[in-house]
Amino acid sequence: MNELTRRDFARSAGLASALSYSRILGANDRVRLGYIGLGNRGDQVHEAFLEHGDCQTVAVCDLRDDYMDLAVKKSRATPRKYKEYKKVLEDRDVDAVVIATPDHWHALMFIDACNSGKDVYVEKPLSLTVHEGRKMVETAERTKRVVQVGTDRRSWKTYKEAVDFVRSGGIGHVSVARCFHIRNEWPNGLGPAPDGPPPSEWEWDQWLGPAPKVPYNRNRAYYNFRWFYDYSGGQLTNFGVHYVDVIRWLLGQDSPRAVTALGGQYAGIRDNREIPDTLEVLWNFDGPTLVVFSQFNANAAPGNVKDSEIELRGTKGTMYIRAMSWEVVPERTTEEYIGYDQGKGYGNPVDRTASRRYSASLKPAMEPIPLRGSAGYDTIPHARNFLDCIKSRSKCNADILTGHLSTSATLIGNIALKTESHLKWDARAERFTNKPEANRFLQYQYRAPYKLI
Ligand SMILES: NC(=O)c1ccc[n+]([C@@H]2O[C@H](COP(=O)([O-])OP(=O)(O)OC[C@H]3O[C@@H](n4cnc5c(N)ncnc54)[C@H](O)[C@@H]3O)[C@@H](O)[C@H]2O)c1
């Protein structure tokens, strides 16, 4: 047996025994959950699951005791506390895990969890690189795990109605979809933070995991990691992945054909962030539709008249989506021709009849759809869907492939920015075709001893 075959064999033998511990759960059973990462988001997802009576917190894991203690207090149970995530995976009382660690940890923890026979709820963005995401898809499929990716808008009923409406042609052909992450972080942003000794060497080493070893810096760790590329794709993969995911869903499209981006740190925000404060990413999707993500972090003027997060420009109407609500404002169109017509038409200063006729004939192309849905953001339905799918062994609303395709679309935006390119994307091969050197950004070298597979 060569080395590779031996490793595969050992892994599948381990997997067979791990999977044999997996319980078959009936409709009335309680799902026993282990939480890995209980910071800002882990706490929110924990609360969402606690709304459902048919699950129980049996294990909590974080590098920080104060975060674990809070989770234990909220759990209405007596979960075991672990500082090492592999201990959660070894715990046979755990049916499924919730992974809400920083992005650079998702792939390793996810693959280990699948190989341990646990079903997985993993936060968005699915991965730090396209290559990691593909390996996560392959692992989930090989191990037959039920997976929910944290793009929780997929479980909102009002969004499903919006999808049905757009896909049935309700707003006509969508030529442009735009989305926005707008917040003015000038002048101080994250504030100054010098490198220094970490509160605990062990904790910092564990926090960094596969990422490069760098001195501790308060602005890199915990919530702030999303401003640094070693741990995150920035706001493009943080907020952008939610929006691009919804846009893909609305349009019924899998992957873009091309991507380009421009941006940078234009406003001189006084911190050590690596990501741009100003960024525009553009994708071409089949449809055809131009999709645009705008990140304006040095000015907070609304991105459009409705200050929405997502805007779909259809030939018959514009759909505005914000939080859990949406509305449609009709376009006004006419069968008249626009333009200069044999000297008598539009744009002729001697005779303005045609332009007046054109304006007078404009009519609403559809009925308006007043605002429907509600304000706020709710993860409870997404948690419900995960629990149901664990029991029925069916695909979740945000299954692994859905999460991978949405995450990949955003990740390649960062590669276009980094390489200052207009990149053509072969979505089947998951490679760039017109600039081979850009393909090296599809994965990075893990710090030893970490290995993806
Ligand atoms: N779905 C959403 O709407 C949403 C919202 C916010 C964040 N998120 C995602 O959730 C994830 C976490 O973000 P956050 O804001 O909660 O960050 P955070 O820094 O507040 O929390 C991450 C937690 O992971 C823990 N952690 C790090 N390395 C660990 C390790 N090796 N073992 C165990 N625990 C470890 C940290 O101690 C920390 O408590 C990110 O991927 C983020 O994109 C999703």
Taking only the tens place, the pLDDT of each residue in 409-428 is 999 999 999 999 999 999 99
Residue 4 banded pLDDT, cuts 50, 70, 90: very low
Ligand 1 atom 39, closest CA = 39
Mean pLDDT, range 272-296, rounded to an integer: 98
Pocket of ligand 1 contains residue 235 by CB under 6 Å: no
More confident residue, 153 or 14: 153
pLDDT at 47 over 70: yes
* 91 within ligand 1 shell (Cβ under 6 A): no
Q: Which of 89, 95, 106, 92 is nearest to 146 (CA)?
A: 95
State whether residue 300 is helix, strand or coil. coil
pLDDT of residue 5: 40
The mean pLDDT value for 141-165 works out to 98
Residue 344: what pLDDT?
59
In terms of pLDDT, which residue wins out, 87 or 339? 87
**Mean pLDDT computed over every residue of the chain:** 94
Q: Pick the residue with more confidence: 453 or 268?
A: 268
Poorest-pLDDT segment among 13-27, 95-109, 183-197, 294-308: 13-27
pLDDT of residue 178: 98
The answer, yes or no, to whether any atom of ligand 1 lies below 6 A from the CB of 231, is no
d(CA 329, CA 433): 39
Provide mean pLDDT across the span 381-393: 98
Domains assigned to the chain:
3-155+381-399 (3.40.50.720), 157-374+405-442 (3.30.360.10)
Judge whether residue 356 has pLDDT over 90.
Answer: no
Cβ burial, residue 155 (10 Å; 0-12/13-18/19+) = buried
Q: Which of 82, 99, 101 to mutate to test the pocket of ligand 1 (most atoms within 8 A of CB)?
A: 101
| Element at 314 (helix H, strand E) | strand 310-314
**Range in 24-28, 120-124, 378-382, 433-437 the model is least confident about:** 24-28
Residue 399 Cα to ligand 1 middle (Å): 20
Q: Looking at residue 347, what is its pLDDT?
A: 79
Q: What is the pLDDT of residue 225?
A: 98
Q: What is the pLDDT of residues 203-219, one digit of tens each?
A: 999 999 999 999 999 99
* 139 vs 341, residue with greater confidence: 139
Q: Is any ligand 1 atom within 6 A of the Cβ of residue 210?
A: no
Q: Is 327 helix (H, G, I), strand (E, B) or coil?
A: strand
Q: How far apart are CA 292 and CA 297, in angstroms?
A: 16
Whole-number Å distance, alpha carbon 105 to ligand 1 midpoint, is: 9
Residue 62, ligand 1, Cβ within 6 A: yes
Characterize the bridge pairing of strands 174-182 and 310-314: antiparallel
> For 118, phi and psi rounded to 5 degrees?
-95, 140
Q: Scan for tokens 């049996």, then name that residue.
A: 58
pTM: 0.95
Q: Give the closest residue to 307 by CA, choosing from 323, 292, 330, 293.
A: 323
Residue 380 confidence (pLDDT): 98
209 CB near ligand 1 (under 6 Å): yes
In the chain, the percentage of residues whose pLDDT exceeds 70 is 94
Does residue 34 line the site of ligand 1, with CB under 6 A?
Answer: no
Q: How far is the CA of 62 from the centre of ligand 1 (A)?
A: 10
130: pLDDT strictly greater than 70: yes
Question: Is any ligand 1 atom within 6 A of the Cβ of residue 222?
Answer: yes
Span from the CA of 293 to the centroid of ligand 1 (angstroms)? 23
pLDDT at position 355 is 83
Average pLDDT over residues 297-317: 98
Q: How confident is the model at residue 13 (pLDDT cuts 50, 70, 90)?
A: very low
Decide: 39 in ligand 1 pocket, CB within 6 A. Answer: yes
Ligand 1 near 403 CB (within 6 A): no
Q: Which helix (H) or strand (E) holds 61?
A: strand 55-61
Q: Is the pLDDT of residue 197 over 80?
A: yes
Cα Rg, the chain, nearest whole Å? 24
The protein residue whose alpha carbon is closest to atom 7 in ligand 1 is: 41
Query: Residue 37 Cα, ligand 1 centroid: separation in angstroms?
Result: 6
Q: Is 245 near ligand 1, meaning CB less than 6 Å away?
A: no
Pocket test for ligand 1, best of 60, 123, 149 (most atoms within 8 A of CB): 123
268 pLDDT higher than 50 = yes
pLDDT at 22: 77
CA–CA separation, 453 and 450 (whole Å): 9
- Determine how many CB atoms are found less than 10 A away from the CB of residue 392: 11
Q: Which bin fits 189, alpha (ψ -120 to 50), beta or left (φ > 0)?
A: left
- Condensed to tens digits (0 to 9), the pLDDT of residues 246-265 reads 999 999 999 999 999 999 99
The residue nearest atom 19 of ligand 1, judged by CA position, is 222
Q: At 328, is the pLDDT very low, low, confident or very high (cuts 50, 70, 90)? A: very high
96-123 as b/e: b if 16+ CB within 10 A: bbbbbbbbbbbbbbbbbbbbbbbbbbbb
Q: Distance between terminal CA atoms of the chain?
A: 19
Output the CA 140–ligand 1 centroid distance in Å.
21
Which residue's alpha carbon is nearest to atom 38 within ligand 1? 39
**pLDDT reading at 20 higher than 60:** no
Say if residue 99's pLDDT is above 50. yes
For ligand 1, the distance from its centroid to the CA atom of residue 259, given in whole angstroms, is: 28
